Amino acid sequence: MKNIHKNILHIEPTHGLINDPNGLIYDHGKYFVFYQWNRFKLDHSYKEWGLTTSFDLIHWQSQGSALIPDTIKDKDGVYSGSAIPKDGKIHVFYTGNTKNNGNRKSYQIHAILEKENTFVKQPQTIETPSGYTEHFRDPFISKENDHWQMLVGAQTDNHHGTIAIFTSDDLKKWQYQGKYFENKILDQMCECPNLVTFKDKRLLLVCPQKRQINLDQDISSYSAYYIGKQENNRFIPDSKLTKLDEGFDFYSPQVFQDKSGRKIMLAWMSRMTDTQEEACPTKQFGYMHCLTLPRELILKNGKLYQQPLKEYLDASQTRKKIETKEIKFDSNLCFEIFHFNPSNNSKFEISLFNDNIQLEYKNKNLTFRRKDWSTSKFNTKTFQINEIYQIDFYCDRSAIEIFINNGEKVLSARYFCNENERKNIFLSSHNFKFEIKDLKI
Ligand code: FRU
């Protein structure tokens, strides 16, 4: 059977289940995207790192398994982590997950990518300091002026989310430096911390998680950021916690720097419920989930913008450009970009893929609806936004990322429609400028 949901640009596994992007790095002309992978089953019972590589952030080459759970310290999962270059080699740090008689124990493990794509796991590992539970994971490494720094997502003994910090002079011996950041808003656990350094500001990415402590289960979680600064191994926010994405499928982002210094973020493009995972239409083709497109992070006048890479625009061609109050057209099975520039104060309604995706703007409120393939009802979100001057839709076959006002807000969602449902309508109270582009790759 033809797979009409197979995405063109979004990274997907060849088979099995993908979750967090890991170890993102640009090295010797090549982009490395490792990821959490269950290559055996379409569930979360097994975790290793898979790898895909690219020379241009558009074409990806799957490289199969990269790090597998084959030691006593990672036997129950090679969990998330990050990468850093040192002395011409890629060094990664990840969490080794172990469970013995139901008791979790975590290790932060160092591995070096040696010749022929083989990782050599290093003997020194970090054990959880006192004051924390074993929900201690997802090391994020950065290079500070004269030393290395590791942030680890954590849960305190009294079940609050926090981030621990370690420092090192050589990536081998690590000193625990206490809590980097703690706040009630981090809920009961903070997964996947990331730190991005801009000229005069730092961006701290966090994934606060609510857990059912007794059952050791995730109940709800989301990804968000603070803008602030770092002083004496502590993060000091000067913004409130803000969600990174206002859509339905976005979690555990990771940021790296490319060859020209751009800060690029990828995330897991799923926050599916168990019922949605159960009914996920790609399961019949032996794989599940994808990553978001790489997005450039830009900090302008103290505000964060997320933008699609310019590579995509460079590789696309205009199919249609008009000014109108209403347009109806069909999507094809290619990757398409729609630019929509509404006039000031207009109300508008947008329906994509035969109502599978809907946007409605009125009274300064934007409502986003996505048809839930497991129930055929709509998942809905509404938020206030005082002015909309531009919306860019990046449409893959079963994944859409919607960038509002140059990436001031982003909405990410998976959707699943039939081939004959690829019908779109843009309708507005006032004239708008509109352009459709096809990606030519
Ligand atoms: C986030 C997460 C991480 C963990 C990994 C396991 O989605 O739960 O905290 O390292 O996934 O796959």
How many Å lie between the centroid of ligand 1 and the Cα of residue 100? 19
> H or E stretch including 318?
strand 316-330
For 206-247, write each residue's pLDDT tens digit: 999 998 888 888 888 999 999 999 999 999 999 999 999 999
pLDDT of residue 261: 95
**Mean pLDDT (the chain, rounded):** 97
Question: What pLDDT is attached to residue 340?
Answer: 98
Architecture of domain 310-439: Sandwich (2.60)
Q: pLDDT at position 303, please? A: 96
Nearest-atom number in ligand 1 for the CA of 192 is 9
Gap from CA of 191 to ligand 1 centroid (Å): 7
Q: Return the half-sphere exposure (C-beta side, CA atoms, 13 A cut-off) of residue 71.
A: 19
Ligand 1 mutation pick, 108, 163, 252, 292, max ligand atoms within 8 A of CB: 252
Distance 121 CA to ligand 1 centre (A): 20
Six-digit token string for 143? 């290079």
What are the backbone angles phi and psi of residue 278, rounded to the nearest 5°?
Answer: -55, -40
What pLDDT, on the 0 to 100 scale, is given for residue 219?
82
Catalytic-labelled residue, pool 20, 76, 138, 372: 20
**Phi, psi (rounded to 5 degrees) for 312:** -70, -40
316-353 pLDDT, tens digit per residue, is 999 999 999 999 999 999 999 999 999 998 999 999 99
Fill in the DSSP letter of residue 250: -
How far does residue 12's CA lie from ligand 1's centre (Å)? 17
Q: Is 285 helix (H, G, I), strand (E, B) or coil?
A: helix
CA distance 147 to 38: 35
The residue contributing the CA closest to ligand 1 atom 1 is: 252
Q: Which atom of ligand 1 is nearest to the CA of 207?
A: 1
Q: Report residue 66 as tokens.
A: 């990269």
Residues of the chain with pLDDT under 70: none
Task: Give the pairing type, strands 336-342 and 348-352.
Answer: unpaired
Whether 138 is a known active-site residue: answer no
Please tell me the residue having the least CA distance from ligand 1 atom 9: 191
Domain 16-292 in CATH 3.30.450.20: no
| Ligand 1 atom having least distance to the Cα of 138 | 10
Three-state secondary structure call for residue 184:
helix
CA 7 to chain centre: 16
Q: What is the pLDDT of residue 117?
A: 76
* Ligand 1 pocket residues where CB is under 6 Å: 19-20, 36, 47, 79-80, 95, 137-138, 191-192, 251-252
Contacts 24+ apart (CB under 8 A), 60-68: 60/11, 60/33, 62/13, 62/14, 63/117, 65/37, 65/39, 66/34, 66/117, 66/119, 67/34, 67/92, 67/94, 67/111, 67/119
Atom of ligand 1 nearest to the CA of 268: 7
- Atom from ligand 1 closest to the CA of residue 36: 12
Q: Where exactly are the structural domains of the chain? A: 16-292, 310-439
pTM score: 0.97
Distance 46 CA to ligand 1 centre (A): 11
**Residue position matching structure tokens 């000193």:** 175
- Report CA(410)–ligand 1 centroid distance (Å): 23
Yes or no: say if 289 and 18 are a contact pair by the CB < 8 Å rule. Answer: yes
The arrangement of strands across the sheet holding 161-168 comes to 137-143, 148-155, 161-168, 175-182
Strands 348-352 and 423-439: antiparallel
| ipTM exceeding 0.85, yes/no | yes
Distances (CA, A) of 144 to 84, 195, 261: 12, 11, 16
